[in-house]
Amino acid sequence: MSLDGLVTRALSHELQCLAGGRIHKIHQPTEHDIVMQIRAQGNTYKLLLSANPTYPRVHLTGESFVNPTEAPMFCMLMRKHCEGGIVEAVSQVGLERMLVIDVRQRDEVGDLSTKRIIVEIMGRHSNIILIDPATGTILDGIHHVTPAISAYRIVMPGSAYVMPPEQGKRNPLETNEEQFRSAMTIPPVPALAAEEASGSPNSPAPDRTAKPVTLQQQLVAAFSGISPLVAQELAYRSGYHASTPAPQADPDRVWDSFDSVLHEIAEHRYSPVIVTDARDGKPAFSVLQLTHLQGHVQPFDSVSECLEAFYGDKAERDTVKQRTADMTRFLLNERNKNVKKLEKLEDTITEAQDADKYRIMGELLTSSLHLLQKGMTEIEVVNYYDEEQRPIRIQLDPQLTPSENAQRLFRKYSKSKNSLTVVTEQIESTHEEIRYLNTLLQQLDSASLSDIEEIREELVQQGYVRDRSKRTGKKKKPNGKPPLTCYTSSEGFPLYVGKNNTQNEFLTQRLAQSNDTWLHTKDIPGSHVVIRGSGFGDPTLQEAANLAAYYSQAKESSQVPVDYTLIRHVRKPNGAKPGFVIYEQQKTLFITPDEEQIKKMPVDVKN
């Protein structure tokens, strides 16, 4: 991963600003993340510790997090042992992806005690562990590791803390030229040696014709803290390709680039950067200049800013998907039920449209009662309603009298005629229900963490899901003024966007004024967009239409139709679903959503 030992060293150096600071608040917004608010040197910092298996990281953050109504057990334990404590030190273990935060706090009886927070950034094995350094005992970990998972090290309350297994690599900051040459000539332990050491009789014969170790592989295997990305950079600065066989590389040239890079790291001279590779569009970050990558280069003033820019949106979208998975599944099931219901209703309409045939058959039976006898199963009579007077065969119920059979057909006729009106109304309401569910699915697809609870609350109010506050006994305060995303157009006009029905209702029904301009995708679920004020030009209208198209179900389409009209021509029908409005005197323009243009627009959240 890009977050290697060198990045961790840069982070450790940057986080020295927290030394001596007091931990005011600790929150656990997700099952993987801890956020600590620390007051140090006259500033307030938010420190994110993440053991996310996909995006593990540590950095200062300016992001706002939505915290659960009840703090998880690990968060409560962190508060007990660390909240109100002083950060004594922040350090790195060797050049490994491990950060250690020592916290001094007074315990329940007033005695000073020290606790240690260890953040292990190890991919899917990442963890945040709180230990008592005096005894080496684990108080708890954000992720438990039982004996069934690992026989080597257990992460459970009361267990002794054991460091991750040694990899047998050399610390590059403590390596001289002679040691470097030695490390580069000793081949790394390949899979072949592991197979031979296992002694498994069923192991396949070892492949002794394997390809020679590349320069990149040799550097990664020999030195701690060196990721494949950094190894590629070192090879490139030496004048080689990463795939060059290690024995073919001139050790003098490799040492020069190695020594130059590590000299910068030793003196804490970092250049945080994100480079988007022009070949495949994939971004990569480092605390070194990545000269081997050609593409867009985005420099940063700090490592934390770099990590937040790289991971922030990815991690949030991943968390949003996890939190919305149940809601999305529920809404898809509800939509499928309504689609099936619509099919049955349309079949009923088809049957009801043939209602006249039951009336005709009833009248034909009535005129032919003298030909009928109880017990008959069918009769063939002349259809005098047909111009050609062709005979028609009518099915009878043998248990009914002739008169009762005729009345049965008249009842079928009446039922079918009456059902036409009822079923037509049900079809309209089912179409409306499907439209509403599609709107919610679109909103979940583009929701941020702060939007999720508003959508869930709407589902509670509409009777789709149960109110969780009834189980916890805590009532959520009604939010009459939801936060709204506000962009600024190139002409300086505010462009408000509603991300869910709660925001759409507030924006259109309460915030917007009669002369403001309202936009929405035509017949496509999406956000309400409002241009505040009048006198704007075509650039502002195009930018607002771009927002309406982008925050809709058609964001991946081209030439999306967007309607726009004045707010005074928009109204909500009585009894309509949340977010549903009707409008008139609209005009339509067609636009292809441009995400890059939106990213360049100034944006703020208005509360």
Among 181-195, 372-386, 404-418, the minimum mean pLDDT is found in: 181-195
Q: How far is CA 297 from each of CA 62, 236, 357, rounded to the nearest angstrom?
A: 22, 17, 76
pLDDT at 192 over 60: no
On the question of pLDDT at 397 being above 60, the answer is: yes
- Give every CB contact of residue 281 below 8 A, 6+ residues apart in sequence: none
pLDDT at 193: 37
Given a cut of 70, is residue 412 above it in pLDDT? yes
Using one digit for the tens of pLDDT, what is the confidence trace for 577-602? 888 999 999 999 999 999 889 988 99
Torsional class of 143: left (φ above 0), alpha (ψ -120 to 50), beta (otherwise):
beta
Sheet strands side by side (includes 494-497): 587-591, 560-566, 517-521, 529-531, 494-497, 484-488, 603-606
pLDDT tens digits for range 251-298: 999 999 999 999 999 999 999 999 999 888 889 999 999 999 999 999
Instruction: Indicate if the pLDDT at residue 198 is higher than 60.
Output: no
Q: At 309, phi and psi to the nearest 5?
A: -65, -35
pLDDT at 188: 61
User: CB atoms < 10 A from the CB of 364, how many?
Assistant: 19
Q: CA-to-CA distance for 32 and 50, rounded, in angstroms?
A: 6
Domain limits, the chain: 5-141, 173-187+212-310, 325-445, 484-606
Q: Which of 251, 253, 259, 234 is nearest to 183 (CA)?
A: 251
Mean of per-residue pLDDT scores for the chain: 87
Q: Specify whether domain 173-187+212-310 bears CATH 1.10.10.
A: no
Identical fold, 5-141 and 173-187+212-310: no
The tokens describing 81, both together, are 């042992």
Share above pLDDT 70 across residues of the chain, in percent, rounded to a whole number: 93
Q: Which residue has the higher pLDDT, 128 or 347?
A: 128
326 has a pLDDT exceeding 90? no
Mean pLDDT of 410-431: 83
User: Strands 582-583 and 378-382, how do they pair?
Assistant: unpaired
Is 90 exceeded by the pLDDT of residue 387? no
**Residue type, position 168, single letter:** G
Give the residue-averaged pLDDT of 334-347: 90
The residue ranking higher by pLDDT, 576 or 230, is: 230
Q: Which CATH architecture has domain 5-141?
A: Roll (2.30)
Q: Residue 330: is its pLDDT beyond 60?
A: yes
What class is the 325-445 domain?
mainly alpha
Contact predicate 57/307, CB 8 Å:
yes
Which of 485, 128, 142, 57 has its CA nearest to residue 312?
A: 57
- pLDDT interval class at 197 (50, 70, 90): very low
Rounded Cα gap, residues 161 and 275, in angstroms: 38
Is the per-residue pLDDT at 82 higher than 90?
Answer: yes
| Res. 203: pLDDT tops 70 | no
Residue-wise pLDDT tens digits, 293-319: 999 999 999 999 999 999 877 777 777
- The token pair that represents 156 in the structure block: 């459970």
Better pLDDT: 348 or 129: 129
pTM value? 0.65
Model confidence pLDDT, tens digit, residues 521-559: 999 999 999 999 999 999 999 999 999 999 999 988 999
User: Are the beta carbons of 121 and 3 closer than 8 angstroms?
Assistant: yes
**For residue 202, is pLDDT > 50?**
no
Q: Are 562 and 590 in contact (CB under 8 A)?
A: yes
Phi and psi for 516 in degrees, rounded to 5?
-70, 155
